[in-house]
């Protein structure tokens, strides 16, 4: 396939900051996103859940305990109520006052300035989340160009990605894969119907697997990667982008 046949020297590894520069600042906050942008990351990875009043919000867990001073389910709160919570202090007192961002706030701040790799989390908890996200994104722009996709949407739920494809025929979409059983030819044949990216746990990223995905015209990302050597190893195997909590560690990439 085209992606697999690219000359070695030309292939550059995309650096995707996992929940922002979450090794250094509280995940999924503007502090972590600003830091990742300052470090030169290509994309910010972020997780989306939905509030009681149907607003997509940026938080990894479906519950508030781990990353805020609140408790209970994200979907039990309106956006206004959620934004009164402190989403920074758990990580360090200097981050007191960080809030749970809405997806709209993140788009307003970063759209077009840095790539956004947006994960639809727990779609089974939020009927209609795909339509809400699609409606919001329609206000910003389309697929972008082959060399810069301003937003890529992804989910562990292939069903959710399929729904997104129906709503957004040309939009860049990815499937998250955690098990080798999701990388059979049969599964890949299904995924290529609606996805352009396979984002896999890095231990699954073998050369042959990567080649099979490239041959179907999809790109390969791998998570969660630490350190320049590991990143370079994955690049040499053919990986197109890596998801990392420490973007600064991998910014000195070898480009051939």
Instruction: Catalogue the active-site residues.
Output: 18, 60
Q: Smaller CB distance to ligand G3P: residue 37 or 243? A: 243
3-state secondary structure the chain: CCCCCCCHHHCCCEEEEECCCCCCCCCCCHHHHHHHHHCCCCEEEEEEEECCCCCEEECCCCECCCCCCCCCEHHHCCHHHHCCCCCCCCCCHHHCCCCCCEHHHHHHHHCCCCEEEEEECCHHHCCCHHHHHHHHHCCCCCCCECCECCEEEEECCHHHHHHHHHHCCCCCEEEEECCHHHHCHHHHHHHCCCCCEEEEEHHHCCHHHHHHHHHCCCEEEEECCCCHHHHHHHHHHCCCEEEECCHHHHCCCCCC
Q: Smaller CB distance to Ca ion: residue 47 or 162? A: 47
| Touching ligand G3P, residues 2-21 (CB under 6 A) | 18
Residue in 42, 47, 240, 248 binding ligand G3P, rule: CB under 6 A: 47
Q: How far is the CB of 8 from ligand G3P (least distance, A)?
A: 25
Q: Smaller CB distance to Ca ion: residue 182 or 212? A: 182
Q: Smaller CB distance to ligand G3P: residue 74 or 243? A: 243
Which residue, among 146, 141, 194, has the nearest Cα to 167 in the 3D structure?
Answer: 194
Q: Does 45 bind ligand G3P (CB under 6 A)?
A: yes
| Site pattern 112..131 for Ca ion (x: CB under 5 A) | -------x------------
199 is in the binding site of which of ligand G3P, Ca ion, none (Cβ under 5 to 8 A by kind)? ligand G3P
| Site pattern 43..82 for Ca ion (x: CB under 5 A) | ----x-----------------------------------
Q: Does 240 bind ligand G3P (CB under 6 A)?
A: no
Q: How far is the CB of 245 from ligand G3P (least distance, A)?
A: 9
Which residues of this protein are in contact with Ca ion, per CB under 5 A? 47, 119
Which residues of this protein are in contact with ligand G3P, per CB under 6 A? 18, 45, 47, 60, 119, 176, 199, 223, 243
């Amino acid at each position: 396939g085209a992606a697999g046949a690219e000359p070695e020297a030309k292939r550059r590894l995309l650096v995707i900051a996992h929940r922002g520069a979450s090794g250094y600042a509280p995940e999924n906050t503007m502090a972590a996103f600003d830091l990742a942008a300052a470090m030169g990351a290509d994309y910010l990875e972020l997780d989306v859940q939905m509030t009681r009043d149907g607003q997509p919000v940026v938080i990894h867990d479906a519950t508030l305990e781990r990353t805020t001073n609140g408790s209970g389910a994200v979907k039990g709160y309106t956006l206004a109520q959620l934004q009164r919570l402190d989403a920074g202090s758990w990580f360090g007192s200097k981050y007191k006052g960080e809030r749970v961002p809405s997806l709209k706030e993140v788009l307003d701040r970063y759209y077009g300035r840095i790539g956004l790799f947006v994960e639809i989390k727990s779609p089974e908890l939020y009927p209609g989340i795909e339509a809400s996200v699609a409606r919001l994104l329609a206000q910003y722009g389309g697929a972008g160009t082959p060399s810069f996709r301003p937003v890529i949407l992804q989910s562990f739920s292939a069903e959710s990605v399929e729904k997104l494809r129906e709503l957004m025929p040309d939009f860049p979409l990815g499937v998250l894969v955690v098990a080798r059983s999701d990388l059979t030819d049969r599964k890949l044949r299904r995924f290529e119907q609606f996805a352009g990216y396979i984002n896999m746990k890095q231990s699954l990223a073998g050369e042959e697997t990567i080649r099979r995905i490239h041959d179907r015209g999809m790109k390969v990302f791998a998570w969660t990667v630490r350190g320049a050597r590991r990143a370079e190893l994955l690049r040499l195997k053919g990986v197109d982008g890596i998801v990392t909590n420490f973007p600064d560690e991998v910014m000195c990439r070898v480009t051939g």
